[in-house]
Amino acid sequence: MKDKADRIRDALPIEYKQIKIKCFEEVDSTNEEAKRMIMTDSIGDIPALLVARRQLAGHGRLNRRFYSPTDTGLYMSVIIPPHAGAGAADVVSITTKAAVAVVRALHKHTEKKLGIKWVNDVFADDGKICGILAETTILRGRTPGYRLDGTKSTAKPYDPYVTVGIGINLTTSAFPEEFQSKAGAVEDLDISQEELAARITKNLLNLANDDSRMYLGDYRSYSTVIGKEIVYGFDIRETDKLKHGLAVDIDENGGLIIKHEDGTLETLHSGEISVRLEEDMTNPKPAFRRLKATRPGTK
C-alpha cells in the first residue's frame, strides 16, 4: 500500500514528479520545519513539499494562531528554491500567486463560492477556509546545485529560498471560540487531500516560475475587497492607528490600490498590513462619501 507521499507524487504532473516530499504525523508548523530543512542545507535546488496531519503551533502573519487539528485540514508548505522566477522572492507577489493556486485547485471541487481577501486569506461563502504565509530564508555560503530540469542553478549565494505555508480547513467544524465568528470549512470537497496538495503545488510552482502577470486576472475576479470600503493598518487591533479608504484595484505586483476621500491613491505592498472591510469592524468610522471604484487611469 502506497504511503501519503507516494499518493501525492502520483497526482503530480511529470515535470514535478521528482520534487522532495516529506509527510509528518505532527509538527510545530510546516513552515518552521521547512526553515530547519533549509538551514541544514537539505533542500538544494529542487522544490520541496511538506505536509502534516496536525500542527501544534500553526501560525499566520503577526504570529496569529492557525487552528490545525488532526486530519480535518490540509497543512502544507512549499519550498521554492532561489532560482525561481523574478517575482518569487517578493512576499506580496508570491502570496497572491499562492491564493490563486489554491482557488484554481478548489474551484471545480466545491459548490461554495470562493473569494480572496487581500492579501493572504481564501474564503468559501462567508467563512475563512485558508490562510497563507510566505517567508524568505537565506542560507549563507550555499553552493548552487542542479535544478529539476537538470540544468545548473544560476542563483546567487544571497538569493533567498521562499517557503509558502498554506493551511486549509477541509472538514473542521469545532473551532475554538476565538475563530468561530470568521472560520469556515470547505466541507464538500470531492477529491482527496493528496490530490488537492498535488494540484496546489503544481499551480504554485507554475506561477512561481512565470514572470507574466496573467494570473492577476483570476486574483481580481475572486477579490472580495475591490470596490469595498476598508480599514487598514500594521495591526488591525490598534484602532487608533487605522486608515480608511476604498479598494479600487490590484496592481501588477499584487499590491492593493486604495483611493482616499480626497481622490489620492495609495498602494499597499507590505505583507505586514492588515485589511478589514469597514462593515466588519465592531466600531467602524462613519462611512465616508461613496467613491466610484474605477481602476487608476480610467474614468
Same domain membership, residue 277 and residue 154: no
Q: List pLDDT tens digits, range 25-45.
A: 999 999 999 999 999 988 889
Q: List pLDDT tens digits, range 119-150.
A: 889 999 989 999 999 999 988 878 888 888 88
Of 188, 222, 256, which marks where a domain is finished?
A: 222
Of 206, 222, 238, which marks where a domain is finished?
A: 222
Same domain membership, residue 282 and residue 232: yes
**How far apart are alpha carbons 242 and 201 in whole angstroms?**
35
Same domain membership, residue 196 and residue 100: yes
Same domain membership, residue 14 and residue 40: yes
**Cβ atoms of 76 and 200 closer than 8 Å:** yes
Which tops the pLDDT comparison, 64 or 250? 250
**CATH number of the CATH domain containing 54:** 3.30.930.10
Share of the chain above pLDDT 70, in %: 85
The pLDDT of residue 84: 57
For the full predicted model, state whether its pTM sits above 0.75. Answer: yes
Grid coordinates of 192:
482527496
Domain span at residue 152 reads 4-222
Which residues are CB-contacts of 87 (< 8 A; sequence separation ≥ 6)?
Answer: 93, 94, 97, 208, 211, 253
Q: How many domains does the chain have?
A: 2
Which tops the pLDDT comparison, 71 or 273? 71
Q: Does position 232 have pLDDT exceeding 60, yes or no?
A: yes
